[in-house]
């Protein structure tokens, strides 16, 4: 009983502390707003909001900072139904070159992320349908903000931050089996990174590759492996384009550039291998060929590479770590987020062979490491 009472008291104290903070902030804003220059006041208002977010006081940041800043705009419309023109007219009547435009983008993004964090606070695993719907509304709002900013190259930081916010929310959706809903937003984020020259630089390659990988994983989650592999191949081509440009410019040290490109290439190669290792072994039903199966017990005593799968690993990857990553990804069940420890449910003997070879390869890679 004492413990319960202590916990209750702690919660009451927290609530009282937040109430006093909110009241203090309200008094500060109303007291100083008329006395300070509007630009200075608004800048400090949003900075306080950022600090509150770092303290995980999302509701306070939303109501007393981002929300307070956005009160100056006439928004008599549903953000989920409004088009780009209406949105632009409502929030950016003076255009994007106005010095307040950056603050407005900041406040809009802050509002969305506070709303997302509040959804997670009330439903951590997004088990309620309404929580998922709210996340999708937030994603739509973020996409709208990015649509408005996209034609303005000097606002590339809005696009970059937007891709981070979208990825954060989509990862949560993917973890609860909602990859089909996350896919379009991750695709949008990937295309945005390709649409602005400043974001095509080597500096952002790792992040761009992370988005590419998430898109591929969504495709595999949705049982659309062919599209996942196709997107990975497209991404590899984009990475190679950047490599060619870097070779011409030589802006960074070659060693550093190689490291970035190697990491990006491995990630995409893993996404290609995930489907390719199985598809390359599927029988062409139009052509009759006798089954030639190897005895896995016998080949275990041979030296690497011993099987078709291991030879493919050797062709596509140049290190033990990358090969093992490819094996793990190929064996993972994208719908359950676990490693498949039993045979795949299929009548195709060749696919069973591939799974066995993958396990054998994984074991060998662990031992050799």
338: which strand partners?
333
Residue whose pair of structure tokens reads 């996340």 in the numeric block: 135
The pLDDT score that the predictor gives to residue 3 is 42
* Strand, coil or helix: 66: helix
- Measured CA to CA, the distance from residue 362 to residue 364 in angstroms comes to 5
Contact of 264 with 206, CB cutoff 8 Å: yes
> How many residues in total does the chain contain?
369
If residue 332 lies in a helix (H) or strand (E), which one and from where to where? strand 332-333
Q: 252-261 burial, b for 16+ CB within 10 Å, e for fewer?
A: eeeeebeebb
The pLDDT score that the predictor gives to residue 8 is 43
**If you ran DSSP here, which 8-state letter would residue 64 be given?**
I
DSSP string, 95-150: -SSSTTHHHHHHHHHHHHHHHHHHHHHH-TT--SHHHHHHHHHHHHHHHHHHHHHT
The pLDDT score that the predictor gives to residue 312 is 92
Q: Which two tokens stand for residue 232?
A: 């990975």
CB neighbourhood size of 35 (10 A): 7
- Measured CA to CA, the distance from residue 93 to residue 84 in angstroms comes to 13
If residue 55 lies in a helix (H) or strand (E), which one and from where to where? none
Q: Which residues does 250 contact at the CB level (< 8 Å), separation at least 6?
A: none
Residue whose pair of structure tokens reads 């140049």 in the numeric block: 318
H helical segments located in the chain: 2-32, 38-54, 58-61, 67-70, 84-91, 101-122, 129-149, 156-175, 179-195, 205-221, 225-249, 254-279, 296-299, 308-316, 320-331, 349-368
Residue whose pair of structure tokens reads 């991404």 in the numeric block: 235
- Measured CA to CA, the distance from residue 12 to residue 319 in angstroms comes to 56
- Measured CA to CA, the distance from residue 38 to residue 42 in angstroms comes to 6
- Measured CA to CA, the distance from residue 153 to residue 134 in angstroms comes to 30
Contact of 227 with 219, CB cutoff 8 Å: yes
Q: Which residues does 207 contact at the CB level (< 8 Å), separation at least 6?
A: 160, 163, 164, 193
* Strand, coil or helix: 255: helix
The pLDDT score that the predictor gives to residue 231 is 96
* Strand, coil or helix: 280: coil
- Measured CA to CA, the distance from residue 74 to residue 88 in angstroms comes to 12
The pLDDT score that the predictor gives to residue 45 is 87
* pTM to 2 decimal places: 0.86
The pLDDT score that the predictor gives to residue 369 is 58
Q: Which residues does 313 contact at the CB level (< 8 Å), separation at least 6?
A: 273, 305, 323, 326, 327, 361
pLDDT beneath 70: ranges in the chain: 1-11, 13-15, 17-18, 21-22, 77, 250-253, 283-296, 298, 333-349, 369
């Amino acid at each position: 009983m004492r413990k319960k009472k202590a916990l209750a008291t702690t919660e009451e104290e927290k609530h009282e502390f937040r109430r006093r903070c909110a009241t203090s902030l309200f008094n500060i804003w109303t007291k100083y707003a008329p006395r300070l220059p509007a630009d200075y006041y608004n800048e400090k208002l949003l900075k306080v909001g950022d600090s509150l977010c770092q303290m995980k006081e999302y509701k306070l940041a939303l109501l007393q900072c981002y929300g307070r800043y956005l009160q100056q705009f006439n928004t008599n419309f549903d953000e989920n139904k409004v088009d780009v023109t209406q949105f632009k007219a409502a929030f950016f009547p003076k255009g994007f070159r106005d010095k307040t435009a950056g603050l407005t983008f900041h406040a809009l993004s802050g509002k969305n992320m506070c709303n997302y964090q509040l959804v997670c606070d009330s439903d951590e695993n997004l088990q309620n349908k309404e929580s998922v719907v709210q996340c999708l509304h937030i994603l739509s709002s973020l996409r709208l903000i990015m649509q408005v900013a996209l034609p303005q190259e000097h606002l590339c930081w809005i696009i970059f931050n937007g891709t981070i916010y979208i990825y954060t929310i989509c990862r949560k959706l993917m973890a609860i089996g909602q990859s089909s809903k996350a896919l379009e937003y991750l695709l949008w984020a990937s295309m945005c990174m390709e649409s602005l020259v400043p974001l095509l630089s080597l500096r952002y390659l790792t992040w761009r590759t992370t988005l590419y990988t998430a898109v591929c994983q969504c495709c595999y989650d949705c049982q659309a492996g062919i599209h996942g592999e196709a997107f990975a191949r497209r991404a590899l081509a984009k990475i190679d384009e950047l490599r060619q440009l870097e070779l011409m410019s030589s802006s960074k040290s070659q060693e550093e550039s190689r490291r970035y490109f190697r990491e990006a290439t491995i990630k995409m190669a893993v996404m290609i291998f995930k489907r390719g290792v199985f598809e390359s072994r599927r029988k062409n039903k139009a052509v009759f060929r006798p089954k030639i199966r190897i005895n896995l017990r016998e080949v275990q005593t041979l030296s690497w590479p011993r099987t078709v799968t291991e030879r493919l690993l050797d062709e596509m990857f140049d290190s033990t770590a990358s090969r093992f990553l490819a094996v793990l990804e190929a064996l993972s069940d994208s719908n359950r987020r676990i490693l498949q420890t039993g045979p795949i449910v299929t009548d195709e003997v060749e696919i069973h062979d591939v799974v066995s070879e993958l396990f054998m390869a994984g074991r060998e890679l662990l031992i050799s490491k």
